[in-house]
Amino acid sequence: MKLQLRYTFRDYREASRLHRLGGFWSRWGTRAGSLVGALFMFAGTLIFLFTPKEAWRGLFPFLGGGLMVFSATLLPRFMQHHEFSKNSCLQHDSFIDISEESIRFENPTARSEHQWNGIRRWVENEQMFLLYISPRLFMMFPKRTFGPGEADEFRQLLRRKLLAS
């Protein structure tokens, strides 16, 4: 099976989201950080409203909480955009050859070949396949690049190759 694609920021964001769903802290850290930040902002607002002579003391929890909410919600997206724009491998057309022996990637800035026994596991959702080489290093395969029936064929190949190893 041969694929040609150019990754988009949407692909990169979806792959990052799918990867985060696999870890407890990644999955719950955003929610916990947002909740704690909102509580600090609420406490800062209460201090401001109910202690007018020392209202400035509410500034620190309010700003600290706002920073926590920003760090948990918006900052990761800015960082993803920056990472995507700086990764030259993602900015060019890539050619992928998937065979019974290996997966080969090639684009103007990189070339790699991965044997099936070097792939630890795979996950998928409606838009993406991720194949893990290590716990935090994965290859992404957007399903939009597969032709009719090829995503199912790829899934069957993954099941054969990764269950056997």
Domain limits, the chain: 2-7+91-164, 23-86
Which of the two residues, 147 and 21, has the higher pLDDT score?
147
Q: What single letter denotes the amino acid at residue 152?
A: D
pLDDT of residue 24: 61
Who contacts 110 (Cβ-Cβ below 8 Å, separation ≥6)?
A: 89
pLDDT of residue 165: 42
pLDDT of residue 98: 93
Q: Is residue 164 scored above 80 in pLDDT? A: no
Q: How far apart are CA 10 and CA 141, in angstroms?
A: 12
Predicted TM-score of the model (pTM): 0.72
Q: CB neighbours (10 Å) of residue 137?
A: 10
Cβ proximity of 81 and 97 under 8 Å? no
Nearest by Cα to 69 from 35, 25, 42 = 35
For the chain, helix, strand, coil in percent to 5 are: 60, 25, 20
Lowest mean pLDDT among 9-13, 20-24, 35-39: 20-24
Per-residue pLDDT of 100-141, as tens digits, reads 999 999 999 889 999 998 999 999 999 999 999 988 889 999
pLDDT of residue 26: 60
- Conformational region of residue 63, where left means phi above 0, alpha means psi within -120 to 50, and beta covers everything else: alpha
Cβ proximity of 112 and 104 under 8 Å? yes
Lowest mean pLDDT among 29-33, 37-41, 69-73, 136-140: 29-33
Residue that is written with structure tokens 């724009």 in the block: 85
Query: For domain 2-7+91-164, which architecture applies?
Result: Roll (2.30)
The CA dihedral of 161, 126, 4, 153, to the nearest 10 degrees, is 40
pLDDT of residue 113: 93
Indicate the helix (H) or strand (E) that contains 14. helix 9-20
